[in-house]
């Protein structure tokens, strides 16, 4: 999402840097790239396809459909079968894929029966155009309803140290063996600054590891749950390198408890 213009609208301000971000992520060992047709719209998928194809073995490209854009930060949910089928076909074309390994319903459309939306994705799965199906911004009850229609392998909900409203869903995913992909995992840094109630505690712990608070936030997420896979976005190569290095930051049990306590205040 960060590869395109402000509000997920329009071309990136620095297209060359956007391509460098993608290439550097793969060079550093990233094996999953999460995007969506609503980013741009269409632009992020096009950049991924143009920059990384032919894809290296083992690289998973995940994308999403079911949101339309009317302008910067303006969106509407659309879950009609015909529209979602078109979304899948166009994503395949832009990403230069014959099959999308993980296709996620970007949002459940309250105006469209879930059977229609997921039934369309299930048909595309049966045709070999989708391998796995996931959902975004859902509750356990909604996932249970979805699983009556099709197998669900991932959930993508907003979650970070600064926003833990989906603790119940995360716990449920652990019990069910479903992947949890938190979006906005470091809250874009806005809520984790020194003037935030938890900022001072996090800064002190980060300093012990010669790390940034953003790195600490990602490290906490990675150690928080075995089903957790953060998907931080950025438009800068330096931030890609910083984010990925967070995977090597190991926190003690005491530090994990201290961080969790600070984030619950």
Q: Known catalytic residue: 39?
A: yes
Cα 160 to Cα 162: distance, rounded to the nearest angstrom = 5
Annotated catalytic residue, options 39, 103, 159, 184: 39
DSSP assignments along 189-248, one per residue: GTTSSTTSTTHHHHHHHHHHTT--HHHHHHHHHHHH-TTB------S-HHHHHHHHHGGG
Strands (DSSP E) contained in the chain are 32-34, 60-65, 67-71, 74-77, 100-105, 130-136, 154-156, 179-180
Q: Looking up tokens 């991932």, which residue turns up?
A: 154
User: Angle 115-119-120 (CA atoms, 0-180°, nearest 5)?
Assistant: 130
3-state percent breakdown (helix, strand, coil) of the chain, nearest 5: 45, 15, 40
Contacts of 174 (CB under 8 A, 6+ apart): 180, 225, 226, 227
CA atoms within 13 A on the CB side of 46: 11
In degrees and rounded to multiples of 5, residue 253 shows phi and psi of -60, -40
* Residue 60, strand partner residues: 32
Residue 61: name the closest of 22, 95, 87 by CA: 95
Backbone dihedral region for residue 133 (phi beyond 0: left; psi -120 to 50: alpha; all else: beta) = beta
Which residues belong to the active site? 39
């Amino acid at each position: 999402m960060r590869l395109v213009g402000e509000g997920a609208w329009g071309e990136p301000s620095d297209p060359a840097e956007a391509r460098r971000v993608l290439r550097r992520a793969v060079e550093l060992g990233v094996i999953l790239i999460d995007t969506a047709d609503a980013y741009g719209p269409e632009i992020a998928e096009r950049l991924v396809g143009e920059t990384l194809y032919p894809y290296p073995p083992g690289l998973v490209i995940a994308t999403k459909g079911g949101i339309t854009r009317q302008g910067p930060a303006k969106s509407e949910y659309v879950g009609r079968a015909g529209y979602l089928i078109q979304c899948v076909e166009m994503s395949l074309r832009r990403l230069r894929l014959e099959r999308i390994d993980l296709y996620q319903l970007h949002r459940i459309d309250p105006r469209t029966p879930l059977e229609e939306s997921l039934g369309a994705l299930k048909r595309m799965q049966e045709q070999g155009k989708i391998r796995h199906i996931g959902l975004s911004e859902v509750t356990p009850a909604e996932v249970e309803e979805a699983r009556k229609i099709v197998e669900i392998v991932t959930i993508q909900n907003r979650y970070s140290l600064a926003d833990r409203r989906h603790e119940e869903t995360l716990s449920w995913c652990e019990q069910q063996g479903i992947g949890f992909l938190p979006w906005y995992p470091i809250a874009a840094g806005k809520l984790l600054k020194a003037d935030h109630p938890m900022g001072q505690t996090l800064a002190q712990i980060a300093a012990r590891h010669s790390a940034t608070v953003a790195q600490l936030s990602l490290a906490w997420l990675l150690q928080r749950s075995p089903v957790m896979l953060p998907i931080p976005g950025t438009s800068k190569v330096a931030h890609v390198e910083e984010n990925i290095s967070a995977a090597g930051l190991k926190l003690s049990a005491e530090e994990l408890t201290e961080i969790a306590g600070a984030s619950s205040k």
